[in-house]
Chains A and B, each alone.
Chain A
Amino acid sequence: MIAIIDYDAGNICSVVNLLNRLGAEWKLTADAAEINRASHIILPGVGNAAHVMGSLREHGLDLTVKGIRRPVLGICAGMQIMCSWSEEGDVACMDIFDCRVKLLEPKPEEKIPHMGWDSLGNMESKLFRGIPDGEMFYFVHSYYAPLCYDTAATCRFGASEPMFSAALHYENFYGVQFHPEKSGAAGEKLIKNFLAL
């Protein structure tokens, strides 16, 4: 059973719809015991990091998530609050991934938010098994995790440097900045890979 962490973190129906299409069994829950019994845990997140992190703390779930020993996947803002800090609301986060989330800087050739399909490079994680280098995924974000020791895939904002972390991985924790649930067949493959961990 997959636990989707229930903490008022915005719209989760696209994640639920994807799991349904894959025929996976899931439950939306804020119960620590139930979360700890799940085989896989998904931490969704849409919107402002400070709000999302505050909501997780209010539900007393930040320590629960940090303590999980099964595979955990944070999506979008869910990934960002697994980092150490976010500039969005100047908020201390869960400190699972060793990097600080920052606001994208405007580039003449790219607009903010970074929204649309963009290609990944340096894909180094079991999440990307069978997915070719350069595959495109769907992004919608204004803040980013810089490259760090935990970077598991990169993406470029604009034509020039710097790249940012499109995915992060540390032990049993995985995070993706893009939305696999909106990324067509490649996104479905990634979620299948996660569920096979």
Chain B
Amino acid sequence: MLAKRIIPCLDVKDGRTVKGVNFEGLKDVGDPVELGRRYAAEGADELVYLDISASREGRSTFLDLVGRVAAELNIPFTVGGGISTLQNAASLLDAGADKISVNSAAVANPDLISEIADVYGRQFVVVAIDARKGTDGVWRVTTHGGSRLTDLELFSWAEEACRRGAGEILFTSMNHDGTGNGYPLEVYERLAKLPVPVIASGGAGNASHIADVLEPGRADAALAASIFHYGRLSIMDVKNLLAERNIPVRL
């Protein structure tokens, strides 16, 4: 039986790792390759590197970084941020990325998912979805880091993404992200019915929150950034709790 995965996420700007609380007030927390290697040694099952550079120079620095990460890391890693064409995805694959994640660009151009999946296989394509629950109780997809609300309904978009070739869905609730109060478990219970694995992201404040979302019938993996970066929690703290709760985990 597959282990539930713990995935630290590293935000990278102009070649350096940063993490903002609620995407604001960015603070430098180190060298992306070193940090990634440390997480791998500490038991991370995968890593995600998210490029948040706004400039062209930042983007090309990121591509070099992906090559260095691939050379150093002995676990799989996903890269995301600013991928809007098949060519972007191809360059990242050539640099050594195991998977790419698409978010806003897939909402704007859903064909992008199938274009990439048809050439490189669905296991290469993670579709990241950020959504916000409205006062009417409907979860609607947002883009551009949560700043733009769309008319897309979360569950129908997730199903469409799978039909088009998504190999995994990475879901972040913009209502929970950065709060440290835990995940919206009922949403992950619905997403668990998708034909592909689901990664939970945004909201964990302690190890119990992560264990809760990885119980059977919910998410397959949990992605977290700040709680690991600022040393509030180690990966082994989380994994030991999972093992105590009989959730399959790689120790």
**What residues of chain A have their CB less than 8 Å away from a CB belonging to chain B?**
11, 13-14, 17-18, 20-21, 47, 109-119, 136, 138, 140, 156, 158-159, 179, 181-185, 187-188
Which of A117, A118, A140 is packed against the most chain B CB atoms within 10 Å? Answer: A117
One of B70-78, B105-113, B130-138, B180-188 contacting the partner:
B70-78
| Cβ contact within 8 Å between A156 and B70 | no
**Alpha-carbon gap, A119 to B1, bound state (A):** 7
Inter-chain pairs besides A11-B94, A119-B3, A184-B40, 8 sampled, C-beta below 8 Å: A21-B72, A115-B2, A115-B123, A117-B2, A118-B2, A138-B75, A181-B74, A182-B74
Chain A residues near B250 (CB, 8 Å)? 117, 136
8 Å CB contact of A182 from B76, B93, B167, B168:
B76
| Cβ contact within 8 Å between A159 and B1 | yes
Chain B residues near A21 (CB, 8 Å)? 71-72, 74
| Cβ contact within 8 Å between A138 and B76 | yes
Chain A residues near B40 (CB, 8 Å)? 184
B8 at the binding interface (Cβ < 8 Å): no
| Cβ contact within 8 Å between B74 and A183 | yes
| Cβ contact within 8 Å between A13 and B96 | yes
- List 30 contacting pairs A-B, 8 Å CB cutoff, sorted by A: A11-B93, A11-B96, A13-B70, A13-B94, A14-B96, A17-B70, A21-B72, A109-B216, A111-B195, A111-B196, A111-B197, A111-B220, A113-B122, A113-B167, A115-B2, A115-B167, A115-B168, A116-B220, A117-B5, A117-B250, A138-B75, A140-B123, A156-B1, A159-B1, A179-B76, A182-B74, A182-B98, A184-B74, A184-B75, A187-B74
Chain B residues near A179 (CB, 8 Å)? 76
Please, how many residues of chain B have a CB less than 8 angstroms from a CB on the other chain?
28
Instruction: Check A18/B74 contact, CB under 8 A, given A116-B45, A118-B2, A156-B1.
Output: yes
Chain B residue with minimal CB distance to A116? B2
| Cβ contact within 8 Å between B3 and A116 | yes
| Cβ contact within 8 Å between B74 and A116 | no
B145 at the binding interface (Cβ < 8 Å): no
Chain A residue with minimal CB distance to B2? A116
8 Å CB contact of B74 from A112, A159, A185:
A185
Chain B residue with minimal CB distance to A185? B74
B121 at the binding interface (Cβ < 8 Å): yes
| Cβ contact within 8 Å between A116 and B5 | yes
**Alpha-carbon gap, A185 to B40, bound state (A):** 9
Interchain nearest-CB distance for B28 vs A (Å): 27
